[in-house]
Amino acid sequence: MTSKYFNPYTDFGFKKLFGEEASKDLLMDFLNQLLPSYHQIAELIFKNPEKNTNTPRERKAIFDIYCQTAGGERFIVEMQKAKVNFFKDRALFYSTFPIKEQARKGEWNFELMPIYFIAILNFHYDEEEERRKFRRDVCLKDQDGDIFYDKFHFKFLQMPLFNKQEHELESHFDKWVYFLKHLENFDHIPCVLNEPIFQRGFEIAELAHLTPRQFDAYLKSLLEYSEVKNVNDTAFYDGMKKGKIEGKIEGKIEGKIEGKMEGKIEGKIEGVKKVAKALKANHVALDIIMATTGLTDQEILEL
């Protein structure tokens, strides 16, 4: 391996950097860049990232990082390395678990503590290029754009859309995004990141500081990341290519608009199935295939 630092998009790298007690200060510093002044974090406790359901037939949720402040605010932090269908729906579904866990038996006035879902995405979830935004802060608003409910927030970061160079970084948040996006490619600490909090991040991420067991776990995680991403990228490209061809043929017969729509849909479906088949052939875990493709376990088993 030629890299000096690990890839933070891998499960191992992300959780090593942000999901351990020893690196909790990094997570708090990063989250505080995304939060309003009245929700700044002074202390965090990690909670069980696996959320079970009331019945075996219901789908459970497994978060990358799930934590809570001393004041009761809940944070779900997800690093999504490859594109999945219905990611916004998934974010909303995941957010229902910290809502439900606040329910109390007996007398209760239904007061809830704030919930933040923070997604760091290594792909574009916005299909239309002109609508894409690097950062999107979402909360419930009314028809006039006024905030209706200030305890339920989504923060989406589309990392491929962050293109600032070192000399263009304007804020501490910019530095964090630059750090995460380029960490694996650094061979030294750049001057703009030569601050105590990032020095800690570089120290944790240096491969030479990992134990042999940790290094083996990272290699396995890196291989899984590469397989998922490469298969996903290839399959979606092939699916879209086929969809465009079919769309053009059907468009000539039934109309250009209808043909393009049907072609793109069929192409995407075929691309998703191709991703699942390839991941299954490479013995990738079923829950990872489900998260990557959006297919159910039954649909994957039937492929």
Instruction: Write out the DSSP string of 9-29.
Output: TSHHHHHHHHSSGGGHHHHHH
State mean pLDDT over 47-52: 79
CB 227 within 8 A of CB 10: no
> What pLDDT is stored for residue 61 in this prediction?
74
In angstroms, the CA 48 to CA 66 distance is 7
**Token pair 């589309």 is at which residue?**
158
Q: Residue 6: is its pLDDT beyond 60?
A: yes
Confidence tier at 58 by pLDDT (50, 70, 90):
low
CB 123 within 8 A of CB 85: no
State mean pLDDT over 122-143: 86
Q: Residue 97: is its pLDDT beyond 80?
A: yes
Domain layout of the chain by residue ranges: 11-209, 224-301
Confidence tier at 259 by pLDDT (50, 70, 90):
low
CB 175 within 8 A of CB 169: yes
Q: What is the mean pLDDT of the chain?
A: 84
Instruction: Name the least confident of 49-53, 55-59, 128-132, 183-187.
Output: 55-59
Give the pTM: 0.73
Instruction: Name the least confident of 6-10, 228-232, 234-238, 265-269.
Output: 234-238
The CA-CA-CA angle for residues 184, 77, 130, to 5°, reads 75
The CA-CA-CA angle for residues 245, 246, 248, to 5°, reads 65
